[in-house]
Chain A
Amino acid sequence: MSATQIAITLAYLLAAVLFILGLKQLSSPKGARNGNFTAALGMLVALAATIPLLHFTPAGLVITGIGIVIGTVVGTVGARVVRMTAIPQMVALFNGVGGGAAALVAVAELLKFGAHPAFAESFPSVFSIVIGSVSFAGSAVAFAKLQELMTGTPITYPGQQVVNGLLAAAIVGFAIAVIAIASIPFSFLALMVLALILGVAFVLPIGGADMPVVISILNACTGLAVAASGFTLNNFALIVAGTLVGASGSLLTKLMSDAMGRSLGNILFGAFGQVHTAATAAAGAQGRSVRSASAEDLGTLLAYSQRVIIVPGYGLAVAQAQHAARELADVLEKRGVEVEYAIHPVAGRMPGHMNVLLAEANVPYEQLKEMDQVNDDFKNADVALIVGANDVVNPAARNTPGSPIYGMPILNADQAKNIIFMKRSMRPGFAGIDNDLMFGPKTVMFFGDAKDSLTKLVSAVKAA
């Protein structure tokens, strides 16, 4: 080993240590932000240590430079300008491109090995191509679902499991072919295309509300693909960092689904075989009617209540209605009404999202109540005011064992004496399922943009 090689290896070791320390810090609230810096420092060390290994061709120098500049601009701008509400899909996007990069690196290596690569070289390459492509395509679908470029409703069709099974089998077949008889030129292309299709097919039947868990799985997958590319390139940094992400990402996926009170199997495959139930539920919904009321009526109801619990959801975040919500709470409190906010752990599509938005609107901290604290208060509340939330108050999570969200802990808004359900339309929530609460006898619907509606209620309460 030359001195340079020793230095590079030690630098990679330092990078690995920094990644581990960064992850450790990231998992405690105190050090989280520093943890991110520590990990970024590890990345810089790993990149710097790689420089002596590079032997640039003129073209190589140019494309490396261009790639780094474009990537830096896209990454920085994308991460900086994205609205807070759109952060989950940005994470999906950044994960997908990583998976894509891992697959392409493996392709380039596989081409280099020539017609008959050794198993130790071809196996990790093929693994990386497949998993990286699945992650890329799956992340793209997750992005489209979260960005509402496509429906967040699970997309299912009869025989879906069979089709997905066949896809997986075809991939295994092609993988064996590529590893065993690699002389077929560009056979890896077929492998890549199949893996891309599988990535799409894997995410389609999963509801939009479960996307954070899906992104977490794909994140772990990308980690493993990167580790596999590390085996092909014989690069210690790639193997260790990729594996760290693969392992911690898998555990994190489990922790996330636990927090939602669901099993991973239920999230991933829950929608299968539900073609019928979903269709029946939709048919049932069309026949039912809802009550709606004018702002004046609702203003009177609110003004003469003793206790009001506001349930904010994603709709409030999208409409930037947190200030209007606080204003309504202020006018109600002036009249002696007790107001609280009930915050569901996953309200706003990202854990902790809603607290931040309301804090930004100067909602007093004591009024923000977490689910466990507030759930027993609903039965004493005169009004539960649901602002742009849906799935987190859907009683189906408690009552309908077949429902995709069955078992998810929900806010007991249905126990309040009156329920005002503020929504843009009758469209189902993010999970893509109907909410019986909207049709309940105690429920009044109030349609419109969350901000406009709240402002109307403020004037109505003032007038009452």
Chain B
Amino acid sequence: MTNELIDEFTFFVLAVFVGFEVISKVPTILHTPLMSGTNAIHGIILVGAVLIASGAESPVNIVLGLVAVTLATTNVVGGFVVTDRMLEMFKGRQPGKTSPSPSGRGQGRGA
């Protein structure tokens, strides 16, 4: 085992714990936007796609690189834009609208 591999494994294990911790308390209403947001984050594969595409010379690598960069960019851009669109429509029911409700519904929603 190389030093590099051990370092990488360390990052991996720590990131698992951070990933669990960071979203441990999330209200139901945010499940879909959060899923969509994490979906955009794994678009980081674009970094990998660009790394293989940039140095492509053989036909196989050119095809692989082109498709990978296209798919990864779609993931990143589409992911962040669609998440924003979702969250934008949640805005309508933020505190301003919640306060006139006498039923205490606002607290229940946590919104």
**Complex: chain A residue closest to B37, CB-CB:** A26
A60, B65: Cβ atoms closer than 8 Å: yes
**Which residue from chain A places its CB closest to the CB of B104 in the assembled complex?**
A373
For B67, the chain A residues whose CB sits under 8 A away are 67, 100-101, 104
- Contact assessment for B8 and A239 in the assembled complex, using a CB-CB cutoff below 8 Å: yes
What are the interface flags for A50-91 relative to B under an 8 Å C-beta threshold, 1 for contact and 0 otherwise? 100111110111011011101110111011101010011011
Chain A residue at minimal CB-CB distance from B56: A60
| Cα A369 to Cα B41 with chains together (Å) | 34
Does A75 lie within 8 Å of B15, measured CB to CB?
no
Please, which residues of chain B bring their CB within 8 A of the CB of A249? 19, 35, 38
Q: How far is the CB of A52 from chain B (nearest CB, A)?
A: 11
User: Are the CB atoms of A35 and B68 closer together than 8 Å?
Assistant: no
Known: A57-B57, A76-B77. A63 touches B62 (CB 8 A): yes
Q: Is the CB of B61 within 8 A of A111?
A: yes
| Nearest CB on B from A387, distance (A) | 20
- CA of A43 to CA of B30, assembled, Å: 21
In the complex, which residues of chain A have a beta carbon less than 8 angstroms from the beta carbon of B83? 36
Contact between B40 and A39, CB atoms less than 8 A apart: yes
Q: Which residues of A contact B41 (CB under 8 A)?
A: 19, 22-23, 39, 42-43, 223, 241, 244-245
A19 and B110 CA atoms in complex are apart in Å by: 23
Contacts of B85 in A (CB 8 A): 79-80, 87
**Residue count of chain A within 8 Å CB distance of chain B:** 114
Measured between alpha carbons, how far is A223 from B62 in the docked complex, in Å?
25
Binary flags per residue of A224-266, CB closer than 8 Å to B gives 1, else 0: 0111011101111111111111111101100110010000000
Interface centre among B44, B55, B74 (most CB of A within 10 A): B44
Shortest beta-carbon distance, B30 to chain A, in Å? 6
Q: Which A residues, 349 to 392, have Cβ-Cβ distances below 8 Å to chain B?
A: 350-352, 355-356, 359-360, 365-366, 368-370, 372-373
Q: Which of A101, A107, A243, A247 has the most CB of B within 10 A?
A: A101
Query: Contacts A59-B57, A68-B73, A76-B78 hold; do A29 and B65 have CB atoms under 8 A apart?
Result: no
From B19, B51, B73, B92, residue with most partner A Cβ within 10 Å = B19
A418 within 8 A of B: no
Residues A64 and B65 in contact in the complex (CB < 8 Å), given A29-B110, A230-B48, A243-B19: yes
Question: Are B69 and A67 interface neighbours, CB within 8 A?
Answer: yes
- Whether B82 pairs with A359 at a CB distance below 8 angstroms is no
Are the CB atoms of A67 and B45 closer together than 8 Å? no
Q: A60-B53, A245-B19 are in contact. Are A219 and B38 (CB under 8 A)?
A: yes
**From residue B16, how far is it (CB to closest CB) to chain A in Å?**
5
Contact residue among B78, B87, B108 (Cβ-Cβ distance under 8 Å from A75) = B78
Is there contact, CB below 8 Å, between B32 and A79?
A: no
Q: For B74, what are the chain A residues with a Cβ–Cβ distance below 8 Å?
A: 70-71, 74-75, 78, 94, 97
Give B68-84 as 1s and 0s: 1 = Cβ < 8 Å from A's Cβ atoms.
11111111111111111
The CA-CA distance from A256 to B27 in the complex, in Å, is: 10
Find chain A residues with CB under 8 A from B24 CB.
251
Identity of the chain B residue whose Cβ is nearest the Cβ of A56 in the assembled complex: B54
Option from B31, B53, B78 in Cβ contact (under 8 Å) with A252: B31
Give residues 78-109 of B contacting A (CB, 8 Å): 78-94, 97-98, 100-103, 105, 108-109
Q: Which 4 A-B pairs have the closest CB atoms?
A: A71-B73, A247-B19, A67-B69, A75-B77
Task: Give me the interface of B with A, judged by CB distance under 8 Å.
Answer: 1-2, 4-5, 8, 11-12, 15-20, 22-57, 60-62, 64-94, 97-98, 100-103, 105, 108-111
Q: Can you list 8 A-B pairs, Cβ within 8 angstroms, ordered by A?
A: A32-B30, A47-B47, A57-B56, A71-B70, A97-B72, A215-B35, A225-B45, A359-B97
